[in-house]
Amino acid sequence: MATSDSQHEDQRFLVLRSFRDLPPALLFRGLLDSAAVECSLADENTIRMDWFWSNLLGGVKLCVRKADADSAASLLDQGVPEKFEVEGVGEYQQPRCPKCQSLEISFQGLNKPVDYTRALLGGHLPHSRSLWECDSCGYQWPESNEKPPANLLISASSVLLIVMTIGTMLIWTIAAVRSVASH
């Protein structure tokens, strides 16, 4: 049985979207996989090994068959659902921006390396707490209005500093004993 050129054309893969970073590409591939749309990510492994190549290669490319392109595009263009059912929990209501009521929001946590290093070295507590940010209007608001204990990071850093000091003293003592024993 001979196949026509149009059948071959429908089986060809085409790039539906490109992503600079791997996480959103994996998220959209998972969405298409869950809808049983055959897809693949081009340049995924290269960019996974060294993200710096992403701009040079044109990002991670989400590829689908030409025959599935319209249905895949409509799946990817769906908005964020206002609410959905979670098994064992019940209905989950998506958070909204308090300013513009948009569902297009993202969570911005603390800059942990900077904030924890500052606390470890006895610096002041971080000015920012975990924040939500609206991708539509740029408004930011705290995750919660509850404040963390005032001395939480300072006490944790003090304990860590004491442990590090004791460890260093132990290492020096052992080195001194070995030095005396060897002479």
Same domain, 122 and 168: yes
pLDDT in tens, 25-52: 999 999 999 999 999 999 999 888 888 8
Examine the fold and report which residue of 75, 97, 121 is the final residue of a domain before the chain moves on. 75
Q: What is the pLDDT of residue 128?
A: 54
Note whether residue 85 is domain-resident: no
pLDDT in tens, 105-156: 887 766 666 666 776 776 665 555 677 888 889 898 887 655 555 554 455 5
Q: Is the confidence at residue 158, as pLDDT, over 70? A: no
Q: What is the pLDDT of residue 127?
A: 55
Note whether residue 82 is domain-resident: no
From the list 70, 80, 68, the residue with the least C-alpha distance to 33 is 68
Domain with 30 in it: 9-75
Note whether residue 95 is domain-resident: no
Examine the fold and report which residue of 75, 94, 121 is the final residue of a domain before the chain moves on. 75
Note whether residue 100 is domain-resident: no
Note whether residue 80 is domain-resident: no
pLDDT in tens, 62-99: 999 999 999 999 998 887 788 888 888 888 888 889 99
pTM to 2 decimals? 0.52
Note whether residue 117 is domain-resident: yes
Distance, CA of 172 to CA of 177 (rounded, Å): 9
Strands (E), 7-46: 13-19, 39-42
Q: What's the number of domains the chain is made of?
A: 2
Note whether residue 3 is domain-resident: no
Most confident of 4-8, 149-153, 165-169: 165-169
Residue with tokens 């995924």: 44
Q: What is the pLDDT of residue 100?
A: 94
Same domain, 121 and 174: yes
Examine the fold and report which residue of 75, 94, 115 is the final residue of a domain before the chain moves on. 75
Structure tokens that stand for 3 in this block = 């196949």
